[in-house]
Amino acid sequence: MSPRVFADLSPLRRSRDLRLLITGQSISLIGSQITLVAVPYQVFTLTGSSLAVGLVSLVELAPLIVLSLIGGAYADAIDRRRVLFITQVLLAVMSAALAVNAFAGPALWPLFVIAAFAGGLAGVDSTTRRALIPALVPPSDLPATAALNAILLRSAQVIGPALGGVIIATIGLGGAYLIDFASFAAALVAVALMRPQPPQGGGTPVSWAGFREGIGFLRRTPILQGIMLIDINAMVFGMPRALFPAIGTEVLGGGAGVVGLLYSAPAAGAFIGALSSGWVGRVRRQGWAVVIAVSGWGAAICAVAFVESLAGVLVLLAVAGFADIISEVFRATISQAVVPDSLRGRLSALFIIQVTGAPRLGDLESGVVGALIGTQLAVLTGGLACLAGLAAIVMWRPGITRWRVDALGRLPQGE
């Protein structure tokens, strides 16, 4: 396969620890994506409310923010491998608790409580993984590694939700949660086999001053502010995830299997985009690439509002996912090139709060708007708001479109 078209696999050949990290995560992520479908579907079947589905994501937000910040501080203070291992154990416990609730009732309130704790722990997990990556590969491999991570995540997001819909329909919600619980074994083994990963320079002690140092770096770096705000805007207004159960069951007239396909479709498009990402290392105007990709995302989401066939909706969501992954690869490359190793845990925490917190706010936004004005109109207005917000951010931070790397892909240039 030509590296000019297909994903560059050379970072995996060169880094043993990267291979371990990706192998273990590839299995555990599929289980997690099964649960990602199971929880909102269970809430929707218990309540019949898209607003309740949105509220599940909202209750995860505060734990996500707090635990991500704490996890990021510890990722800059101690062995990052140890932080990752402990987090996997606790996430497995959360999946077991969901299974117990499903077999025992189920009750609605444990879904909110467990989702809140699991959301916070997932923030620690993602923060630590993001901080690890630049230590595992040389700077020239960062775009290719970002694409490989995208392939990993999106393939799980394709397989997991689609598989989750089938599992829920055949063996039930309790069985789906147990499969997620079992999948964490692979991640634990992989992390245990990795070499120790202490932060460079011996680490920064966990303190309030350390938190302020991370915030201060972000305030002094406009390009980071710009790419974070672009993604927040796209996810809050242009991600109609909380409406997928209503779209699947009411607009398209399907059941759990159709809902699972809706959750999988953006990831399928993203997977195709990541798999064909061999060209990303040659792009120098990376800021412009982010802007163009997010514009494509917003336009595709707007078009979903006018389509009432399953095939049409799936294609448009896949197009949106393709655009999203291109944006993600370039945003990750820019941020990892800019942030020094001593700050990567804390800055990764801020990015993970943004990346995982914004869709939860988006779930609330789309759930509330959908309840007020209807499902399809909520999708349309959200896509239009995404495009308008993108234009405003580029006007506020014009340095985004001037960002570039040199001919060797090493030294970032621009704002």
Q: What is the pLDDT of residues 300-347, one digit of tens each?
A: 999 988 988 889 989 999 999 999 888 888 888 888 778 877 777 788
Total number of domains constituting the chain = 1
Q: Is residue 190 part of a domain?
A: yes
Cα within 13 Å of Cα(407), Cβ side: 0
Q: Is residue 4 part of a domain?
A: no
Structure tokens that stand for 384 in this block: 């239009």
Q: Omega before 205 cis (within 30°)?
A: no
Give the 3-state secondary structure of residue 405.
strand
**CA gap 203, 77 in Å, rounded:** 4
**CA gap 397, 375 in Å, rounded:** 33
Is the distance from CB of 39 to CB of 111 less than 8 angstroms? yes
Q: Is residue 37 part of a domain?
A: yes
Residue type at 396? Answer: W
Q: Could you tell me the pTM of the whole model?
A: 0.68
Question: The CATH number of the domain where 201 resides is what?
Answer: 1.20.1250.20
pLDDT of residue 4: 52
Give me the percent of the chain exceeding a pLDDT of 70.
94
**CA gap 240, 199 in Å, rounded:** 38
DSSP string, 244-265: HHHIIIIIS---HHHHHHHHHH
Q: Which residue has the higher pLDDT, 411 or 195?
A: 195
Q: Is residue 399 part of a domain?
A: yes
pLDDT of residue 10: 79
Which band of pLDDT confidence, cut at 50, 70 and 90, is reported for residue 409?
very low
Q: Is residue 79 part of a domain?
A: yes
Is the distance from CB of 261 to CB of 247 less than 8 angstroms? no
Average pLDDT score over the chain: 83
Q: Is residue 245 part of a domain?
A: yes
Structure tokens that stand for 343 in this block: 């700050």
Quote the domain boundaries for residue 19.
10-413
Which band of pLDDT confidence, cut at 50, 70 and 90, is reported for residue 93?
very high
pLDDT of residue 254: 81
Q: What is the pLDDT of residues 194-249, one digit of tens each?
A: 888 887 766 677 777 777 888 888 888 888 889 989 989 998 998 888 888 888 88
User: pLDDT at residue 91 above 70?
Assistant: yes
